[in-house]
Amino acid sequence: MNQRIRNCAAAAALLLTAMTASATNYTAILTGPQESPPNTSPAIGAAVVKFDPASHILEVDVAFSGLILPSTLSHIHCCTTTPGAGIAGVATEVPTFGGFPAGVTNGAYTNTYDTSLLASWNPAFLSSHGGTTAGAEAAFAAGLNAGEAYLNIHSERYPGGEIRGFLTAAPVPEPATVAMLGLGVPAVLLMAARRRRKT
């Protein structure tokens, strides 16, 4: 194993151990049929979101492939009235995640947000939850835990969203899974398929 790979593995392990016991991990597979309204896009994506309201950390990792036309925006919406269904307003920063790759059909994105900062939230989401970051964090955590939050990716073909997936609680990902996310969606899906076969 070369030094670069060892350094990446060590960094991933450190990141996972740095999260406090109050951190919760959420995952989603993003597809067109899960959008509202559903569409027939062949694109697919995978997301791992970690949220720790105690330390005000929101980590977002997304990989996607096969958008029909280039990407425009991405964010997390919360909170729908029915778990796993419906639509909701954007909860995270607007108009899109800072630094999200626009103008591509395949890509990956990683960012960490300090949720004690107003800039990490959509002003409308803040306003509807008491106008404070504490109120936004509480509502966001409740929505994530209830299955009422989703991550989607918008494109030039589908300005309302080409692919989306509802975030569901998941165990802490293994360092290898985190590393695979950086390699793209096919690797993430392969890992998920292998885990399903083992159970």
Q: Are 180 and 188 in contact (CB under 8 A)?
A: yes
Identify which of 122, 111, 118 has the alpha carbon closest to the alpha carbon of residue 61.
111
Is residue 15 pLDDT above 50, yes or no? no
pLDDT digits (tens, 9 = 90+) for 46-91: 999 999 999 999 999 999 999 999 999 999 999 999 999 999 999 9
Q: Summarize pLDDT for 88-137 with one digit per residue, the tens.
A: 999 999 999 999 999 999 999 999 999 999 999 999 999 999 999 999 99
Q: What is the largest CA-CA distance in the chain?
A: 51
Residues 6+ apart with CB under 8 A from 80: 86, 87, 88, 143, 148, 149, 150
Residue 145 has pLDDT above 50, yes or no: yes
Mode of pairing for the β-strands spanning 57-65 and 107-114: antiparallel
pLDDT number for residue 180? 46
DSSP 91: -
pLDDT band at 23 (very low <50, low <70, confident <90, very high): confident
Q: What pLDDT is attached to residue 22?
A: 63
